[in-house]
């Protein structure tokens, strides 16, 4: 069922939904950008439709509700360990098609890698429903069409497109139909906007030779990459974390066990007790990250991890382009194939 | 490899129903308290903690050992009894330092066992060589003890290396193994007057009196450079990749295939390993 709403009508829909749901959406943080007088678009809990940024690309991904940067798992005392509580009010997350495809990658890792699923992720995931933000145009550095994540046909409860100042919504979940019907200007079949091509295009070969892991192409990043890990933190498909305990200063035997977001680009990621680490240079770490996104995940699960949102390119302080790295690696793989042929 | 569930053909939103089913299951991150039954001191830095545990477990598997306020560390099982597991720890990290302050009668929190472990029947009947270095002896201790019990123990060869005589672990076991099978005990270096073997474990491989190295089996566990050069020597001797087993150490925060730290290529050491056939391990590049 599709609906066309005025912006006021959409505001009323959101107000009604806020009675039942916590709503997380991209919002503009004025002046909070990386440079003076620049803004940043990040996810936050919103309390009205006006706060929701529907036109710009978000600099950070939606994943922070599902996988917070820091999440308390347990509270412990000397004798007991107790799981931290989580408010059980349901959650609506506004996201674009690439991110909707990223949800499946998060589910893959947390719910379906290994025999046991992640209980803490599952309890957050269970609370969430998704709202698809249509893409009327491609943004800088996006390559969703190359990764097949440019279109989403299911998994959302309703969609939101901004067209000529009106909101066009495709309502998939019948539970949401009445609130739309009450506030819409008219009913109309809606197909969410999506892009079919991007300026940035990549082609990922089906196979990479093992020699790509030792190729000198990665050396460049040992000198260029500063290992800040921003690419991991903005990535909607990066899931790594580290277990950390904190204790209270008043009583050191009482505290919390937390998991915090971790980055394969940052020192210490592969360090074992005693100090040995398995990837020392930034070039090796770049190779580890990129090959996971475009090859290793696919070898394990059958589809690529990267969804082509391009946020890592947007955020890199050294202007390293991840899509360019894919192109270089692909060229090396394909040149190797030709040599063999 | 562990069974891999792919969501490839699932819809992008299908995880929700999967999540609901997970919540009904037990939370695998909740550790259980386990009493320290005994503490065996090997060196200044290395102790074995005998922990109360009743359940399935294999040599080569590991537990996540936690101490509130310090976090968790993956520790391999170095011994298995009817109501206990041995966990041998070296005082090298934040967690293990704290564990050393905890003694007999107290409890530690454990999760596990995790990982695949060694398949001991593989080494029954036939020439077998185990090469282990330093704390790498812990995960294979159960394997060596099993070899020592086998009727053809005279066909089992064990080369164990430590940095120095003061770093030797499992001295009682070493004495027993020396009687039951062919043990070569060596140290990298020793103070003057030391009468035992001095030299790296790799030095002793060429002289192993094997009848048929092509069908002989090998187990190699130790620091990465030691494993690398041991395998080179084994292959020179005539061993084939299929008959070589290794066990890898990596950083592991969860043991469940979630935290991502132990991933190498498309392999999670905690799920698919830490024990690997060398045909798989040789293509794992960090």
CA distance A296 to A324: 18
CA distance A218 to A248: 43
Please tell me the distance in Å from A32's CA to the nearest CA on chain B. Answer: 30
CA distance A319 to B27: 42
Task: For residue A243, give the nearest of B10, B25, B72 by CB distance.
Answer: B72
Q: How many CB pairs under 8 A join A and B?
A: 200
Q: Is the pTM of this model over 0.90?
A: yes
Helix (H, G, I), strand (E, B) or coil at A222: helix
A29 pLDDT above the threshold of 60: yes
Question: Is residue B8 packed enough to be buried (19+ CB in 10 Å), middle (13-18) or exposed (0-12)?
Answer: exposed
- Chain A residues lying within 8 Å of B263, measured CB to CB: 292, 296
CA distance B12 to A95: 13
The reply to whether residue A242 touches residue B253, judged by beta carbons under 8 angstroms, is yes
Please tell me the distance in Å from A105's CA to the nearest CA on chain B. Answer: 8
- Chain A residues lying within 8 Å of B134, measured CB to CB: none
Task: For residue B250, give the nearest of A74, A240, A278 by CB distance.
Answer: A278
DSSP labels for chain B? -------TTS-TTTHHHHHHHHHHS--TT--EEEEEEEEEE-SSSEEEEEEE--S---TT-EEEEEETTTEEEEEEEEEEETTEEEEEEETTSHHHHHHTT--TT-EEEEEEEES----GGGGSSS-EEEEEEGGGHHHHHHHHHHHHHSTTGGGEEEEEEESSGGG---HHHHHHHHHHSEEEEEES---TT--SEES-GGGGTTT---S-TTT-EEEEESSHHHHHHHHHHHHHHT--GGGEEEE-----SSSSS-S-TTEETTEEHHHH-SEEEHHHHTT---
- Taking only the tens place, the pLDDT of each residue in A150-175 is 999 999 999 999 999 999 999 999 99
pLDDT in 10s for each residue of chain B, 286 residues: 445 688 888 888 788 888 888 777 789 999 998 998 988 888 878 889 999 999 999 999 999 988 666 778 899 999 999 999 999 987 766 666 666 666 666 888 899 999 999 999 999 989 999 999 988 999 999 999 999 999 999 999 999 999 999 999 999 999 999 999 999 999 999 999 999 999 999 999 999 999 999 999 999 999 999 999 999 999 999 999 999 999 998 998 899 999 999 999 999 999 999 999 999 999 998 8
The reply to whether residue A274 touches residue B18, judged by beta carbons under 8 angstroms, is no
Please tell me the distance in Å from A244's CA to the nearest CA on chain B. Answer: 5
* H or E element at residue A168: strand A166-170
Which of B88, B102, B260, B281 should one mutate to test binding to chain A, selecting the residue with the greatest count of A CBs within 10 A? B260
Task: For residue B8, give the nearest of A240, A252, A303 by CB distance.
Answer: A303
Task: For residue A111, give the nearest of B15, B73, B96 by CB distance.
Answer: B15
The reply to whether residue B4 touches residue A273, judged by beta carbons under 8 angstroms, is no
Please tell me the distance in Å from B255's CA to the nearest CA on chain A. Answer: 9
ipTM field: 0.92
Phi-psi domain of B69 (left: phi exceeds 0; alpha: psi -120 through 50; beta: other): left
What is the pLDDT of chain A when averaged over all its residues? Answer: 93
**What pairing do the DSSP bridges indicate for beta strands A70-76 and A255-261?**
antiparallel
Which of B64, B258, B268 should one mutate to test binding to chain A, selecting the residue with the greatest count of A CBs within 10 A? B258
The reply to whether residue A301 touches residue B224, judged by beta carbons under 8 angstroms, is no
The reply to whether residue B285 touches residue A241, judged by beta carbons under 8 angstroms, is no
């Amino acid at each position: 069922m599709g609906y066309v709403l005025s912006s006021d009508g959409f505001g009323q829909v959101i107000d009604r939904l806020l009675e039942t749901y916590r709503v997380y959406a991209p919002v503009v943080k004025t002046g909070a950008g990386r440079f003076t007088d620049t803004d940043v678009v990040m996810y936050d809990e919103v309390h009205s439709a006006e706060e929701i940024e529907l036109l710009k690309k978000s600099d950070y991904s939606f994943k922070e509700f599902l996988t917070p940067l820091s999440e308390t798992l347990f509270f412990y005392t000397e004798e007991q360990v107790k799981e931290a509580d989580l408010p059980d009010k349901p959650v609506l997350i506004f996201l674009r098609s690439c991110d909707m495809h990223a949800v499946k990658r998060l589910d893959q890792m947390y719910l379906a890698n290994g025999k046991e699923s992640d209980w803490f992720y599952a309890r957050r995931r269970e609370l969430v429903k998704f709202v698809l933000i249509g893409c009327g145009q491609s943004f800088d550095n996006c390559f969703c069409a190359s990764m097949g994540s440019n279109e989403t046909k299911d998994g959302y409860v309703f969609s939101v497109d901004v067209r000529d100042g009106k909101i066009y919504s495709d309502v998939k979940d019948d539970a949401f139909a009445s609130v739309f019907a009450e506030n819409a200007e008219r009913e109309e079949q809606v197909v969410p906007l999506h892009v079919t091509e991007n300026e940035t295009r990549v082609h990922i070969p089906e196979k990479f030779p093992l020699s790509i892991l030792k190729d000198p192409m990665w050396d460049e990043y040992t000198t260029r990459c500063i290992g800040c890990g921003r690419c991991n933190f903005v990535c909607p498909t990066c899931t790594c974390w580290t277990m950390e305990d904190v204790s209270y200063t008043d009583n050191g035997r009482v505290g919390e066990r937390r998991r915090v977001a971790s980055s394969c680009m940052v020192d210490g990621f592969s360090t074992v007790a005693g100090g040995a680490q398995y990837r020392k240079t930034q070039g090796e770490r770049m190779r580890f990250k990129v090959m996971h996104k475009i090859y290793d995940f696919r070898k394990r699960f059958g589809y690529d991890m990267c969804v082509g949102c391009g946020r890592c390119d947007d955020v890199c302080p050294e202007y390293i382009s991840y899509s360019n790295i894919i192109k270089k690696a692909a060229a090396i793989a394909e040149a190797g194939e030709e040599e063999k042929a | 490899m562990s069974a891999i569930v792919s969501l490839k053909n699932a819809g992008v939103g299908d995880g929700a129903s999967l999540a609901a089913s997970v919540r009904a299951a037990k939370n695998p991150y909740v550790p259980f308290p386990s009493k320290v039954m005994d503490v065996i001191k090997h060196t200044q830095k290395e102790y074995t903690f005998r922990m109360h545990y009743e359940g399935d477990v294999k040599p080569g598997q590991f537990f996540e050992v936690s101490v509130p306020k310090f976090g968790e560390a993956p520790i391999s099982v170095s011994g298995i009894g009817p109501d206990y597991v041995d966990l041998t720890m070296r005082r090298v990290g934040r967690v293990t330092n704290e564990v050393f302050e905890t003694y007999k009668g107290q409890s530690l929190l454990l999760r596990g066992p995790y990982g695949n472990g060694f398949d001991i029947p593989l080494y029954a009947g036939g020439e077998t060589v185990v090469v282990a270095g330093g704390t790498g002896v812990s995960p294979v201790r159960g394997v060596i003890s099993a070899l020592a019990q086998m009727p053809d123990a005279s066909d089992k060869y064990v080369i164990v290396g430590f940095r120095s005589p003061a770093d030797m672990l499992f001295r009682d076991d070493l004495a027993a193994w020396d009687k039951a099978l062919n043990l070569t005990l060596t140290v990298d270096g020793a103070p003057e007057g030391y009468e035992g073997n001095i030299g790296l474990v790799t030095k002793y491989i060429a002289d192993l009196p094997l009848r048929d190295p092509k069908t002989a089996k090998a187990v190699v566990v130790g620091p990465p450079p030691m494993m690398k050069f041991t395998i080179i020597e084994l292959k020179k001797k005539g061993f084939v990749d299929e008959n070589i087993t290794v066990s890898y150490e990596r950083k592991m925060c969860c043991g469940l295939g979630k935290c991502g730290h132990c991933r190498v290529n498309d392999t999670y050491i905690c799920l698919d390993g830490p024990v690997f056939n060398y045909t798989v391990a040789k293509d794992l590049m960090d």
